[in-house]
Amino acid sequence: MQKTLNSLKLEFNSFSYFYRIILSVLAVVSLMIFIWNTCTHNVIIASLKVNYPHFEQDVFNISFPSDSEPIDTENFVTEDDPPKDEFDNDIPSEIGNHDYIVASGDTLSSILNQYGIEMPDIRQLVKADRHLYSLKIGQKFSWTLNTDSQLQRVVWEVSRRESRRYDRIQDKFKLSVLLKTGTWQRDRLTVVVNGSFINSAKLAGLSNSEISEVIKSLQWQIDFRKLRDGDYFKVLTMREMLDGQRQQSELIAVNLRSSGKNYYAIRAADGKFYDRRGSGLTSGFMRFPTIRRYRISSQFNPRRSNPVTGRIAPHKGVDFAVPIGTPIFSVGDGEVMVSKSSGAAGNYVAIRHGRQYMTRYMHLKTLLVRAGERVKRGQCIAFSGNTGRSTGPHVHFEIWINNHAVNPLTARLPCMRGISGEARQNYLDRVNEALLQFNSR
């Protein structure tokens, strides 16, 4: 060792002064890059706040492979329908319809892209109406797809007074502006649970869409399947009335009293629901089901055509090229719906988060959770594998929102941040107003 060092030293001294300077600078820079990499890598891991309940140090070594295997790119998973629980059967569904509340930073294309709607359609929409460039936070956006997953109709609620509808006519979209002439009134309804929540709510006079809104607003705080007879909801809505008929409505606030406890969900100016203090209601989601982002071997593509048959064979998730044995994490808090071996999907896990979100993980090797089990964000649920219809080690990862598969890389995920700053004061004013109405006779 000493000998080698000495010969290196001699070698170094034999270079000219100029080259010695260059060599020293290169050595210092390499050292800095090495240190910087090590630090940022640790910071990323720390910021994931992942819990590792079940495994020991040697498992971690598996999760940092030098490189991942190449895998198939034509892996058609046929396990299409996301699993449902008994409560889903009762929920009034508006099939093929999707709702979205515009959030900060959204554009028309960022919203529609995450659902796999293609750029030519988005361009045609903007051609029909350039106002679509100026979406505002809190506005409601909804759309319908046809059986080919092609955009059929878009409705943009510009205000309570105006909505704009875009209907597909061949490759173009036709704009209709709908002005609402009814009057808006505030209503308070009380639902006393007796048997099924949905039936009780219908009896109390709530419409299907109002019921869906109530369920969404409280999804992070309570499990609707665990309501008991005698629990009751107070619901505040704004309803548009025209010639004595109800046209549409907007949920303002909900107060549930269940087992002696009060739960609140109140709509903020951004169109989302928060609790009485303005806190965010979920612990948030991780973007990937692995400790780091692996190479993507196949992208989300709901309109991918099969190269052989030419038929649409959607790829409803993203494939990450992870080596066999990689720990796979639940990306959010939730309940395991499925954990089993199943044909094309191989060993797979489906997890439900609240009432609107579902994630699925396929082609796994070892399953570590059971159906019905509650899991935390960052909990290891399985080790990856190459099972089912798969020609190489990888994990196929899906995110579903309201029964639609969305692009896991770009989907808007529920957020853990509460309301702060000026918006918070505005929100607390709304809360006080709602509380007054809940408690008034």
Longest dimension (CA), the chain: 99
Q: How far is the CB of 112 from Zn ion (least distance, A)?
A: 22
Q: How far is the CB of 389 from Zn ion (least distance, A)?
A: 9
Q: Which is nearer to Zn ion, 314 or 414 (CB)?
A: 314
Q: Which is nearer to Zn ion, 276 or 396 (CB)?
A: 396
Q: How far is the CB of 316 from Zn ion (least distance, A)?
A: 8
* Span near Zn ion by CB under 5 A; candidates 108-116, 214-222, 281-289, 395-403: 395-403
- Residue 396 near Zn ion by CB under 5 A: yes
* Span near Zn ion by CB under 5 A; candidates 68-76, 144-152, 192-200, 283-291: 68-76
* Span near Zn ion by CB under 5 A; candidates 69-77, 84-92, 149-157, 384-392: 69-77
Contacts of 38 (CB under 8 A, 6+ apart): none
181 exposed, middle or buried (CB, 10 Å; 0-12, 13-18, 19+)? exposed
Q: Which is nearer to Zn ion, 282 or 390 (CB)?
A: 390
Q: How far is the CB of 359 from Zn ion (least distance, A)?
A: 14
Q: Which is nearer to Zn ion, 307 or 421 (CB)?
A: 307
Taking CB under 5 A as the criterion, which residues in 352-381 touch Zn ion?
none
Torsion of the alpha carbons at 397, 403, 409 and 412, rounded to the nearest 10: -140
Of the candidates 175, 206, 202, the one whose C-alpha atom is nearest the C-alpha of residue 189 is 206
Q: How far is the CB of 314 from Zn ion (least distance, A)?
A: 10
- Binding to Zn ion by CB under 5 A, coded x per residue (else -) over 309-338, reads ----------x-------------------
Of the candidates 122, 175, 163, 168, the one whose C-alpha atom is nearest the C-alpha of residue 139 is 163
- Which backbone phi and psi does 318 adopt, to 5 degrees? -120, 140
- Binding to Zn ion by CB under 5 A, coded x per residue (else -) over 13-32, reads --------------------
Q: Which is nearer to Zn ion, 400 or 427 (CB)?
A: 400
Q: Determine the residue with CB nearest Zn ion.
A: 396
Q: First-to-last CA distance in the chain? A: 89
Of the candidates 256, 224, 194, 227, the one whose C-alpha atom is nearest the C-alpha of residue 85 is 224
Q: How far is the CB of 301 from Zn ion (least distance, A)?
A: 10
Residue 437: in which H helix or E strand, if any? helix 421-439
Residue 336: in which H helix or E strand, if any? strand 334-342
Q: Which is nearer to Zn ion, 69 or 373 (CB)?
A: 69
Whole-angstrom distance, CA of residue 54 vs CA of residue 333: 17
Per rule CB under 5 A, count of chain residues that contact Zn ion: 3
DSSP 374-418: EE-TT-EEEEE---SS-SSS-EEEEEEETTEEE-TTTPPPP----
Q: How far is the CB of 62 from Zn ion (least distance, A)?
A: 22
* Span near Zn ion by CB under 5 A; candidates 56-64, 108-116, 289-297, 394-402: 394-402
Q: Which is nearer to Zn ion, 327 or 388 (CB)?
A: 388
Q: What separation in angstroms does the CA of 136 have from each of 31, 159, 390?
A: 48, 10, 43
Q: How far is the CB of 78 from Zn ion (least distance, A)?
A: 11
Q: How far is the CB of 278 from Zn ion (least distance, A)?
A: 39
* Span near Zn ion by CB under 5 A; candidates 75-83, 91-99, 107-115, 415-423: 75-83
> What number of other Cβ atoms are within 10 A of residue 311's Cβ?
7
Contacts of 227 (CB under 8 A, 6+ apart): 193, 197, 258
* Span near Zn ion by CB under 5 A; candidates 28-36, 157-165, 224-232, 389-397: 389-397
CB half-sphere exposure, 78, CA atoms < 13 A: 6
* Span near Zn ion by CB under 5 A; candidates 71-79, 234-242, 329-337, 377-385: 71-79
The distance from CA 252 to its chain's CA centroid, rounded to whole angstroms, is 23
Q: How far is the CB of 396 from Zn ion (least distance, A)?
A: 3
Secondary structure of residue 112 in the 3-state scheme: helix
- What's at 43, amino acid-wise? V
Q: How far is the CB of 77 from Zn ion (least distance, A)?
A: 6
Q: How far is the CB of 349 from Zn ion (least distance, A)?
A: 15
Q: Which is nearer to Zn ion, 157 or 319 (CB)?
A: 319
Of the candidates 112, 94, 104, 155, the one whose C-alpha atom is nearest the C-alpha of residue 407 is 112
> What number of other Cβ atoms are within 10 A of residue 91's Cβ?
16
> Which residues contact Zn ion by CB under 5 A?
75, 319, 396
